[in-house]
Structure 1
């Protein structure tokens, strides 16, 4: 008789463990799904932020390049104009081909 009671106790105990395991697994699955969704959304936001940050850095680099070139061209133009003015004050004419530059 004691073997029957023990086997019934084991049966009820294992059924309880199955139900507990089912709820525990469901809880872990829900937690992992939420964690995955949060990481996915966080990654998507970081992707968009990094993309626009890269665009701003690119625009800044291009603007710096253009402004640097404008500055160099301005210095060269001022130097050329000063050279022409110097030549004019000296009484010399600067010619390129058949064209007089001053």
Structure 2
């Protein structure tokens, strides 16, 4: 018999980047709210984006994979905190992945 229930996915990557580059506190996310530890902005903040691009300069595919995994973790945390009116999936994508390396602008289907 084929089961229609899929296994629950495991946890994604730990949000440990960008690595601290002399900043105290580092521009890493504070879970489960996903705001920056250093400046309180929604993570990844502008500084974290710059640091991540510099850290992953030779591995842009790795940066995309890392950001997609953290997007998954943020969705899990934020929907758990506020299941009724959490952020829209498009806003998660724009916040975590769309700014990353070599992205074309997201487009909406015609009305």
Q: Please state which band the TM-score falls in when normalised by the shorter chain.
A: under 0.3
Q: Which has the higher contact order (CA 8 A, sep 6+)?
A: 2
> Normalising by the residue count of structure 1, what TM-score does the alignment of the two structures yield?
0.25
Structure number with the higher helix fraction is 1
Larger radius of gyration, structure 1 or 2?
Answer: 1
